[in-house]
Structure 1
C-alpha cells in the first residue's frame, strides 16, 4: 500500500499473534538445542549445574524480552537496538551498533545456522564420517539463497514458512521429550539419579559459568527479534507482549525437558564426546530410525534461518532509512512491498562470510559484543523510566527487571575478559571502534554523495523499488 499523504510505500502489517509467536519461537529454536547442551556441560562440569544454567538463561531472556517490549511500545519503530540507541543516545553510538550488526553479528549468525543446517542435512548420507566441507558449504549457500528468495518474493510466504517449520521443529523436540519420559518411566535416571551425582564435578569459576551462559544463550537467541519488525506487527501493544508470554516460557520449558531427556539417556562422557548430541540421542533411543533426528535438526535450523533473515533484513532497512546507510537499502519493492534491497545486501554479506569456514570461535568472541549492546539498550530504558515517565507505553515492567538484566549483561561482557583475557577481545573491540572512522567522514560530513546518488538511481530502476515512509 501507499501512504496517502506522502505517496511513499509502507511495509504491510502482516504479523498477527500466530506469526509473531512463530517469529520469536521459530528463531529461538534453531540448531542450538541440538548442539549446545554438550558445550554447556563441558564448561560447568556437571549435569545438575547445566540444567540450572538452562533455567537461568530462560529467566534472563524472559526478563530481557519484556524490558524490550516496554521499549518497543515507547519507541514504535522497527530496528531493535539500533533505533532505541539512536533515539536515546544519538546517531554515532547507533551507527556503531548498526555497523557491527550488519557486517558481523547478523551475517555470521546466518552463516553459522546455514552451516549447521547443511551438516545435519548431509549426516544421513555420510554415516560414520564427516561430510566434505565443500559439499557442506554449497548446501549452506543454497539454503541461504532459497530463504532469501522466499523473503524477497512475499512477506506472507516467508511467514508461512516460519509457521510450518515451527510446527516441524516442535514435533522433533517432542519426540526427544517423550523419549526421555519413557526412559524415566522405565526407571532409568542416568546422571540425574541423585543430587550428589547430578552436581558432581561442578565448576563455579567466573569464566566457566560465563562461557556456559554464552553457549546456552546462543540457543535462546531470537527473544529480541520481534522488536526488529515491530512496524509490521498488527496491534503491537497487544500482540507483542502476548507473543512473548507464549513463546519464551514455552521454549524455556521445552529446552529443560529436552536436556533432561539427553541426561537420562546419555552419560556426561557420551554427551561431551558427541559432535551432535541430538543425533547421538537418536541412535541410542530410536536405533535404526536415529537419522530422523538429523532431519529434525535440519528443519529446525531452516526455520531459524528463515526467521533470522526476516528480522535481519529489517535492521539494514531501518538503518538506511535513518541515513546511516545508502538510500537504496531503505527502499521497498513497488509491487511486493518487501525491503528487497536490504534483503539482497544481507544475502551477499552472508554468502561472503560463509567462504572462510567455521565461525564457532568467532561467534563466541562476538557474543559479548551483543550483550554489550543489550546492556546499552537496557540502560536507555532505565533512563526513560526515570527521566521521562510521562511517555505513553502499553507495557510497564517493574524497574528492578531491567536493572537485573543489565547486571547480567555486565557479567556476560566482563566475565570472560577478566577471568581469561585473550587478544581476540582486543581485536573485536578495535573492529567495532573502527566504525567511528567510517561514521565521521561519510555519515556526519556526508562526503562523496554524488557517486552514491547515481548508483541509487540505477539500482532503483533495476530493482523496481521506491522510498518508503515510516509514519505508519
Structure 2
C-alpha cells in the first residue's frame, strides 16, 4: 500500500443516479401505510388530509435543503457524523451513530417484512399469509441487498434502477385507476370530494400526529448526505436532485391519495429520530455564525427560515406526544440513547482497547470490503476555497 496516498471514495455518480437514489429512499412502504394514519388523525376530513400531504411536502423540502447544506459544507460520506462532531463534539456524534446502528437495522428489517407481506398476500386471498414464508422472503431480500452492497456501490445500481422503475409503475397504475374512475363521474366515486372540508377539524395534537404520519412517507429525503463523498460536484448535484424529486413525489403522493379515496371509503383505509433533527438545525445555525465562509447551496439570508421552521416542527413532534399522551416507552427511548455512553466513555474517551479488537476490525473490513476514508479536512478546506472564489464574483 502506498502510504503517500490518501484513501477516499471516488466521485462517480452524477445527477441521474443521485435522483434515482433519492427516489428509491423516499418512496417506500410509507405511502401504503401513512394515508390511513393521516386521514384518521385529521378526523376523516378528506380535504384537510390532502392539505396535510402538501404541508408535509413543504416541510420535507426545507429539511432536505438543510441536509443539503450539511452535505455541501462537508462533502464526504458520513457528512452528518462529521457535522455533529464539529458542532457538538465527539460524544454527541457517537450517540448519533449508536442510535443509527439499531434504528437503521430495525427499519431495514421492518421494510423487508412489509415488502414480503405485500408480495405473498395475493397468493392467500381468503386469509392472512403465514408467517414463515414472509420471514424467509424478508431474510432473502436482506441477504441479497447486503451481498450486493458488500460487492460495491456500482453492483447495486441495477437493483436500485429496477426498484425505481417498479415503484413508479405501481404508483402510476394506482394513480391512473383513480383518475379514470373520477373522469367517469360515478356518484359513489365523486361524492367524497364534493364536500371535502365538511368534516370536523382535528385538535392541535391530532393535527401534529397527522403531520407526523405524512412525514413518515417522505422520510429519507436527506439521504444524499450519506453518500456526498461519491457524488460528482455535490454543490450542484445535491440541490438539483432534491428540487427534482420532492415535487415529483408530492404530485405522485397526492394522486395516490386521491385514488385511494376514490376507490375506498375513509373507514376502509384507516420518534424518536426528531431529536437528531433538532440538533442538526441548531448546528446549522451555529455554523452559519461561526464559519460563514463554508460553501452552501443558497444564500444564507434567504434560507434562514428553513432551519428555524424545521427545528420548530421537530420540537413539536418530540414534545406534543410527551405532553398529550405520555408513555413509558419515551423514557425507554431516552435511556437507549444515553446507553451509548456506556461504550463511549471507556472505548472512545478513555481509549480502552480490548484484546483482539483491532484484528477483528481488520478482518471485518476485509470481509465486507470497507475502509474508513481519510477524513475530509482537505475536502472541506478545498470547498472553502471554492466558496471564497465564488464570493468574489
TM (norm. structure 1) is 0.75
Q: Which of 340, 359, 381 is equivalent to 2:284?
A: 381
8 Å contact from structure 1 (residues 74, 391) kept in 2: yes
User: Which residue of 2 is the match for residue 406 of structure 1?
Assistant: 311
Residues 458 and 167 (structure 1 numbering): CA distance in 2 closer, same or farther, change over 3 Å?
A: closer
User: Which residue of 2 is the match for residue 443 of structure 1?
Assistant: 348
User: Which residue of 1 is the match for residue 330 of structure 2?
Assistant: 425
8 Å contact from structure 2 (residues 22, 245) kept in 1: yes
User: Which residue of 1 is the match for residue 294 of structure 2?
Assistant: 391
Partner Cα separation in structure 2 for residue 388 and residue 460 of structure 1: 35
| Cα distance, 1:128 vs structure 2 | 2.1
8 Å contact from structure 1 (residues 190, 264) kept in 2: no
User: Which residue of 1 is the match for residue 60 of structure 2?
Assistant: 61
8 Å contact from structure 1 (residues 23, 162) kept in 2: yes
User: Which residue of 1 is the match for residue 384 of structure 2?
Assistant: none
| Cα distance, 1:224 vs structure 2 | 0.7
Q: How does 1:89-100 map to 2 (within 5 A)?
A: 89-100=88-99
Deviations 1:122-147, CA, capped at 9 Å, x for gaps: 01111121111122111111100011
Partner Cα separation in structure 1 for residue 370 and residue 264 of structure 2: 54
| Cα distance, 1:461 vs structure 2 | 5.6
Q: How does 1:334-373 map to 2 (within 5 A)?
A: 367=271, 369-373=272-276
Partner Cα separation in structure 1 for residue 255 and residue 370 of structure 2: 47
Please report the RMSD computed on the Cα atoms of aligned residues, expressed in angstroms.
2.0
Q: How does 1:170-185 map to 2 (within 5 A)?
A: 170-185=168-183
8 Å contact from structure 1 (residues 191, 268) kept in 2: no
Deviations 1:289-347, CA, capped at 9 Å, x for gaps: xxxxxxxxxxxxxxxxxxxxxxxxxxxxxxxxxxxxxxxxxxxxxxxxxxxxxxxxxxx
User: Which residue of 2 is the match for residue 77 of structure 1?
Assistant: 76
Partner Cα separation in structure 2 for residue 402 and residue 159 of structure 1: 32
8 Å contact from structure 1 (residues 179, 261) kept in 2: yes
Residues 114 and 199 (structure 1 numbering): CA distance in 2 closer, same or farther, change over 3 Å?
A: farther
User: Which residue of 1 is the match for residue 115 of structure 2?
Assistant: 117
Residues 211 and 192 (structure 1 numbering): CA distance in 2 closer, same or farther, change over 3 Å?
A: same
TM (norm. structure 2) is 0.89
User: Which residue of 1 is the match for residue 248 of structure 2?
Assistant: 250
Partner Cα separation in structure 2 for residue 410 and residue 182 of structure 1: 41
| Cα distance, 1:210 vs structure 2 | 2.4
Q: Extract unaligned runs of 5+ from structure 2.
A: 380-393
**Which is further off, 36-45 or 220-229?**
36-45
Q: How does 1:291-302 map to 2 (within 5 A)?
A: none
Partner Cα separation in structure 2 for residue 268 and residue 399 of structure 1: 39
User: Which residue of 2 is the match for residue 17 of structure 1?
Assistant: 15
User: Which residue of 2 is the match for residue 43 of structure 1?
Assistant: 41
Deviations 1:219-265, CA, capped at 9 Å, x for gaps: 11110100111001111011111100101111111111111111122
Residues 257 and 462 (structure 1 numbering): CA distance in 2 closer, same or farther, change over 3 Å?
A: closer
8 Å contact from structure 1 (residues 26, 162) kept in 2: yes
Partner Cα separation in structure 2 for residue 81 and residue 465 of structure 1: 19
Partner Cα separation in structure 2 for residue 467 and residue 53 of structure 1: 41
Q: Extract unaligned runs of 5+ from structure 1.
A: 273-366
Residues 420 and 64 (structure 1 numbering): CA distance in 2 closer, same or farther, change over 3 Å?
A: same
Deviations 1:49-69, CA, capped at 9 Å, x for gaps: 211221111110001111111
Partner Cα separation in structure 2 for residue 468 and residue 96 of structure 1: 21
Count how many residue pairs are aligned between Structure 1 and Structure 2. 371
